[in-house]
Structure 1
Amino acid sequence: MYAAPPDLPTERFAVLPAAWHRMDYPSPWVEARGAGPLHSFLEGPAFDRNGTLYCTDLAHGRVFSVTRAGDFAVAADYDGEPNGLALHRDGRVFVADRRHGIVCLDGQGGFNGVVGATPQSVALQGVNDLTFAPDGDLWFTDQGGSDLRRPTGRVYRLRAGTGVLECVIDGLAGPNGIAFSPDGRLVYIAITRDNAIYSLGIGASVGSRADAASAASGYSADGGVRGEGGTSRDRGARGDGGASGDGGISGDGGASVANGAGGAIGKLSRFIQLSGSPTGPDGLAVDVEGNLAVVHAGAGTVWLFSANGEPMLRVRSCAGRRTTNVAYGGPDNRTLFITEAEEGVVLQARMPFAGLPLYSQQGEPPLQDRATGAE
């Protein structure tokens, strides 16, 4: 439909040290794939206010921090399958763990549960990625084993402060990366098994920056969803909060959308139809002009599409083809950082526009950060 866009090269920013490869380490996720041992599987890049990059190792239950110089350190090592990662404005690190749900880094090498499943609720199938809306609500994708034959994937919203969990969309074939437009009126969702990007309209009362000031700092013991405590490698992480799918969700085989409070949730549409790749789209990121970066997993590519869905650039991996996820960072926030799982590296490329400041980067830093001079 469109001419091929110009290529943009990448270079290696950081390489996972060979000493930290776990080729012989038993991993349920690796065994389930049946593709032989994996040294790591890097995913979920995200920056904190100080410029430290966090990323996950889905294969072996690790979360890494990476300095501006590209040096890796282990931030957490536990019995889980961490995938997407997002930072709260107060500095907390939230992780979409395929096995345990949405969990929060406890600062001691493990996690506290935030959202899980109970017998009284709709069980999460296997969460994939997550992002904070401008108002502080946490949105995440629940992919599990969904595909075109079994479109059971869902998108959830966890309300800031109250901890109320809402199923916004169900009937999806592999929901994956998720990101908001600059005005907060659209949420983009990578649908891996449909090889497509969907967009969902959101009303003015949802996702507006004006609501951010009234959002509580977390999802805690204030009557909302709560986790049941710390996590160690031998115990794992479990959340005891329920996942309820109310608000107009049906399971009739097609994607359905919740009505939302006051009709705030709009129409679900196919925004971009991709082709090729043995896998499909994965992580997403948006720049200040509304352009959308789309990781095409298995193709060694990140596409940059305009806000109208027109291809602008093809960012090519200089390493392997297992590109997984992206985040904007650097001093001017104009560098795109890409996790590549085949070689265990983080790539970088200079982009035409700066990335959209995320919820963690908006507003004044928390008091504890201002006291220490952190930016």
Structure 2
Amino acid sequence: MSLYPPPQDRTTEVLTRLPEEFWRCGDSDWVRANKPGQKVASFLEGPSFDLDGNLYVTDIPYGRVFRISPKGEWELVVEYDGWPNGLKIHRDGRIFIADYKRGIMLLDPFGKRIEPFLTHRRSEGFKGVNDLFFDRDGRLYFTDQGQTGMHDPSGRVFRYDLENQRLDCLLDNGASPNGLVMDLHEQALLVAMTRGNAVWRLPLQQDGSTSKVGTFTAMAGGVSGADGMALDEQGNLFVCDAGNGCVWVFDRHAVPLYRLRSCTDGRTLTNLAFGGEGNRDLFITDSSTGHILKVAMEHPGKRLFSHSGQ
């Protein structure tokens, strides 16, 4: 970051907050494992819009998925035994969830049911899946983060061909792979390495393999690192900084453009999605406070295979 002029700061605004009726006592297996000694009312992730403009978000520690109407009304869609993180809506209407505890799951929002979709590879369970993404051909990419990090760089990135039911491991040496998105022309996969404080670039070859994997950009450091990501129609990359209360925006060459600061006192911005009129508004989960933040951008989000802008 210090190689370039300081990026321009912009401030977000609060769109809505998880209503108090949905706050929890603060204790769960996830809280004890990931936030020991803390009381956590919720931990929101996975924002994704459906065609009707409803925003879906997950609540990891309490196994919940919420739907927020365009009027800001919150509805509990499902509560189950799981740790749901990333969420994307397929263009056929299916809602896919990356569940750390159970693998890739499917949500039926009308029947309010969760069912397994992809729970293992060659009879071996995943380390702990984190986020997911569809390319323009409808193939599913997801990260398998688990407890990996600089001490154990064995996190994985997978691609699943829904039509042929083929699962390929594209990377198995990641230091905590988290959010992921493809570049503008879908020639490379960009993957946030949270505990490595960086975003990696994985060029995709015609045979489906990866080669010449490198660092797209290094982050500024801190107690966490790069988390959820999004792309706009110009190819600019938006990266949540889960420890510094902001979203970094880089151009396609990794030159920093903006820092979108949280307007709350929360420091844990984890995931984001484009939506709103013209797909020009960016919506961000402030996981530590239960807020959904919003900021208007010049360029629309890149429309992908899924229903949402992201």
What TM-score, normalized to structure 2?
A: 0.94
**1:117 lines up with 2:62 in the alignment:** no
- Residue 325 of structure 1 corresponds to 271
Give the Cα separation in 1 of the matches to 2:208 and 2:145.
25
Aligned residues: 303
* 1:349 paired residue number: 295
Q: Give 1 or 2: higher strand fraction.
A: 2
Question: 1:174, 1:192 within 8 Å by CA — same for their partners in 2?
Answer: yes
Distance 1:269 1:105, change over 3 A: same
Q: Structure 1, unaligned stretches of length 5 or more?
A: 206-261, 363-375
SS of 1:86's equivalent in the other structure is strand
Larger radius of gyration: 1
2:184 is the counterpart of 1:182: yes
Query: Could you say which residue in structure 2 is the equivalent of 1:32?
Result: 33
What's the offset of the Cα at 1:30?
A: 0.7
SS in 2 for 1:267: coil
Deviation at 1:50, TM superposition (A): 1.5
For 1:183 and 1:275, the matched residues in 2 are separated by 27
Q: What is the TM-score with the length of structure 1 in the denominator?
A: 0.78
Aligned match of 2:252 = 307
- State the secondary structure of the residue aligned to 1:56: strand
Following superposition, the deviation at residue 122 of structure 1 comes to 3.2
Which residue pairs with 1:274 in the alignment?
Answer: 219
By how many angstroms is 1:263 displaced? 5.8
Deviation of 1:117 after TM superposition, in Å, equals 2.4
SS of alignment partner, residue 298 of structure 1:
coil
C-alpha deviation, 1:35, in angstroms: 3.5
CA contact (8 A) 2:64 2:78 kept: yes
Q: 268, 275, 287: which is aligned to 2:232?
A: 287
What are the within-5 Å matches in structure 2 for residues 4-83 of structure 1? 4-24=6-26, 26-33=27-34, 34-83=36-85
The answer (yes or no) to whether the contact 2:49–2:307 under 8 Å persists in 1 is: no
- The one-letter amino acid of 2:293's match is L
Check the 8 A contact 2:176/2:195 in 1, yes or no. yes
Contact 1:56 1:63 in 2 (8 A): yes
Task: Flag structure 2 segments of 5+ consecutive residues without an equivalent.
Answer: none
Task: Deviation per CA, 1:285-313: give whole Å up to 9, x if none.
Answer: 00000000000001110011000000000
Q: Distance in 1 between matches of 2:116 and 2:201?
A: 29
Q: Deviations over 1:5-28 (max 9, x none)?
A: 11111111111001110025x421
CA distance in 2: counterparts of 1:299 and 1:70, whole angstroms: 27
What amino acid sits opposite 1:129 in the alignment?
D
Pairing partner for 1:335 from 269, 273, 281: 281
Identity, % of aligned positions: 41
Distance 2:208 2:277 in 1: 40
Matching of residues 224-239 of structure 1 within 5 Å: none
Residue deviations 1:106-130 (CA, integer Å, cap 9, x gap): 2322311011127x53320000000
**Deviations 1:106-162, CA, capped at 9 Å, x for gaps:** 2322311011127x5332000000000111000000000001111110000111212
d(CA) in 1 for partners of 2:209, 2:223: 36
